[in-house]
Structure 1
Amino acid sequence: MTLHPEIAKFIAALPAPPDGPLDPVAMRAGEEAHVPPLDERLPLHAVEDMTAPTASGEVPVRIYTPAEAESHGLLVYFHGGAFFLGSLETHDHVARSLAKETGLKVISVGYRRAPEAAYPAGLDDCYAVVRWAADEGNGLSWDGTTLAIAGDSSGGTFVAAVAAKAHDDGFGRITHQVLYYPSLDLDFDTGRYASLRENAVGYGMETAGLKPFNAFYTDSGADPADPLVSPLKRADLTGLPPALVVTAEHDPLRDEGELYGRRLREAGVEATVRRYEGAGHGFVQHFSWIPEYHQVFTETRDFLSRG
């Protein structure tokens, strides 16, 4: 299927990237400038900013309560952004939609980003907030059932890595993992996956940009050979939580996400892999207003409701 016409129109209107090295501060400011005002955002019962006291330090979180109730299941969300972009604000609409459609209380994590924070600061923050959420369940009105983790792009990297860390630590309370077009092999050797070649140019995120965009993370000490950096390099995936892996047809990262799903199934882990046709990388963040892509949230709801 060709690229969705609305996505193609958006990509065609994008300005040429600036010459020279990437500027994290300027790029973050550009992202934040497009965040809609509060009165234009999806309303929920309650949205609260707080700081979670964790083993990793004081981590900013934003907690989304979809409706008034005595208790809720929990979903801890890690935003994307190549480990140096993205924030609680830029992905606020994703967290709101997840809360509304799943009925779960969503905890969005404002983890530390590269290059200012060296690896593994961001990963440590994400894992620590999951442990904090379980430990502070009463204060969060957790019903003691669902404790899911979800993330898009580099947030999906953190989902797979957190699931692995939890397993290795004997922390068995994570019930589900949800990965939207995850980055799971930071090697970026184009010989590894056909999608790196098939979707190299013209679909928004280009294969040639993967190394420079992720360089802030890898240069901070994240070794692509480390399974916590490239979760596909983990030899044994047995015992991990059931997974929903969402990929996009025209995404250079498509094949590594689908390989993760296959390897989970081979390891005896329940894994659902869903490819969204006509979509490119980032569609959950940028194009979930298109009805056929908004259904990713209801699909997530259905997956999370399966015990």
Structure 2
Amino acid sequence: MPLHPEIKKMLESIPKSDVKEKIVLEKMREILNIPSIPAEKRVQVHSIEERTVSTSETEIPVRIYTPEEKNFYPILMYFHGGAFFSGTLESHDEIARPIAMESGYKVISVDYRLAPEHPYPAALQDCYDVAKWVTENKDELKWDGVNLAVAGDSAGGNLAAAVSLMARDKKEFVITHQVLYYPSLDLDLSEFRYPSLFENRKGYGVESDQLAEFCSFYLSGGADPNDPLVSPIKKENLKHLPSALVITAEFDPMRDEGEQYAANLEQYGISVELKRYEGATHGFLGKFTHLEEYQDVYKRTGKFLKIEG
């Protein structure tokens, strides 16, 4: 289908320039970190708590969303997007809230360290460490001891997939579900291997020619983009990974890598639900989930995560 008219209207409002400007980091962070939905219009939750997780390397701020008062909860760690160099707890508050309310999970949003000040593997280690912290503080967090999910959008989808791989291989805890919203799963941009990188190259918000520069911040410590923990789509053995919900957008340069990863998981017998939202662009959560065509994304997430009984 064509680009959704409301999204098209928004894209047309962005000033056009033929000059390729190098990213000014702080300027881009300022733009990307602005929430789409005013605080007073966001989904209401039972309670929100600010905490800090201490590790051997750093202090990690987290925001805990409790959907209702219960004795025990399934828990989901949310990793925000922002190309590894931007994004905050506040910028993705509008996404974490409806996930908690639709799923019944206690959601822990993670303010991981950002590149280039902290290149790979800092963000990944922070996200893994918060998941481990949950399992080590089961009673305090009222975790049910069974259901432990990860979710993330864009770069956060990369981190969710990579944490799932780490957890499987390290065997310190078990991730039961992974939710990947328009994930960035292949940081090797030496060539464009996916049709969506050509089809959606320009004019849809995130442009293909920007991606290498975006990724360069995360890779600046010398990380190899062919490392499966950097580019999860490179992982050859996908056995025994958690079930996955993969959400993609029709007009997203990264659409095909998300769908390819879903197919790769299915080849290894992993239960996968894949949904492409037609007429949508990268980053449509929050910004456009008020539109009829996209407002079911959180209900779909909740249904995928729902615990029976």
Counterpart check, 1:277 vs 2:283: no
Rounded to whole Å, the distance in 2 between the matches of 1:19 and 1:171 is: 45
CA RMSD of aligned residues (A): 1.7
In structure 1, the residue matched to 2:169 is 168
Give the superposition deviation at 1:144: 2.2
Given that 2:35 and 2:92 are in contact with CA atoms closer than 8 Å, whether structure 1 keeps it comes out as no
For 2:2, the equivalent position in structure 1 comes to: 2
| Deviation (angstroms), 1:297 | 0.7
Moved more, 177-186 or 66-75: 66-75
Quick one: percent identity of the two aligned structures? Answer: 50
Structure 1 position 34, deviation (Å): 4.7
Partner Cα distance (1:61, 1:35) in 2 = 20
Q: Measure the CA separation in 1 of the matches of 2:252 and 2:207.
A: 8
Matched residues in 1 for 2:40 and 2:301: separation? Answer: 26
Partner of 1:13: 13
User: Alpha-carbon deviations, 1:153-179, whole Å to 9, x = none?
Assistant: 000000111011111101342110110
The number of aligned residues is: 307
In the alignment, the residues of structure 1 paired with residue 115 and residue 289 of structure 2 have an alpha-carbon distance, to the nearest angstrom, of 27
Query: Paired residue for 1:82?
Result: 83
Mapped partners of 2:35, 2:257: distance in 1: 30
Task: Give runs of aligned pairs for residues 168-247 of structure 1, distance below 5 A.
Answer: 168-247=169-248
Query: Once the two structures are superposed, what CA deviation does each residue of 1:190-215 show, in whole Å capped at 9, x if it has no partner?
Result: 54111111111121111111111221
**Which string of whole-angstrom CA distances, capped at 9 and with x for unpartnered residues, describes residues 212-249 of structure 1?**
12211122333211110011111111111111111111
Deviates more, 1:64-73 or 1:251-260: 64-73
Distance 1:257 1:34, change over 3 A: closer
How much has 1:36 moved relative to structure 2?
5.5
Residue 88 of structure 1 deviates from its aligned partner by: 0.4
Residue 145 of structure 1: how far off its partner (Å): 3.0
Letter in 2 for 1:27: M
Does the 8 Å contact 1:185/1:256 carry over to 2?
A: yes
Amino acid paired to 1:149: V
> Retained in 1: the 8 A contact 2:178–2:243?
yes
In 2, are the aligned partners of 1:114 and 1:220 still within 8 Å (CA)?
Answer: no
- Scaled by the length of structure 2, the TM-score of the pair is 0.94
- Partner amino acid for 1:100? M
List runs of 5+ in structure 1 lacking aligned partners. Answer: none
Whether contact under 8 Å (1:47, 1:62) holds in the other structure is yes
Find the counterpart in structure 2 of residue 301 from structure 1.
Answer: 302
Q: Given the superposition, is the C-alpha separation of residues 306 and 257 from structure 1 closer, same or farther in structure 2, using an over 3 Å criterion?
A: farther
Q: 1:207 to 1:33 in 2, by over 3 A?
A: closer
Q: What's the counterpart of residue 131 of structure 2?
A: 130
Query: What is the distance in 2 between the residues matched to 1:34 and 1:16?
Result: 23
Using the alignment, how far apart are the partners of 1:261 and 1:33 within structure 2? Answer: 30
Q: TM-score normalized by structure 1? A: 0.95
Asked if 2 retains the 8 angstrom alpha-carbon contact of 1:54 and 1:132, the reply is no
How far, CA to CA, are the matches of 1:44 and 1:107 in structure 2? 13
Q: 210-219 or 93-102: which moved more?
A: 210-219
Q: Distance in 1 between matches of 2:248 and 2:38?
A: 30
CA contact (8 A) 1:78 1:159 kept: yes
Contact 1:74 1:104 in 2 (8 A): yes
By how many angstroms is 1:66 displaced? Answer: 1.1
Q: What stretches of structure 1 move > 6 A for 4+ residues in a row?
A: none
Q: SS of the counterpart of 1:47?
A: strand
Q: Which residue of 2 aligns with 1:41?
A: 42
Residue aligning to 2:103:
102
- For 1:203, what is the secondary structure of its paired residue? coil
Shift in Å at residue 269 of structure 1? 1.1
SS in 2 for 1:74: strand
- Show the counterpart of 1:25: 26
Per-residue CA deviations over 1:17-64 (Å, capped at 9, x if unaligned) read: 686421222222233455655434322111111101235532110000
Question: Partner of 2:140: helix, strand, or coil?
Answer: coil
d(CA) in 2 for partners of 1:306, 1:44: 19
Q: Distance in 2 between matches of 1:137 and 1:24?
A: 38
State the shift of 1:89 in Å: 0.8
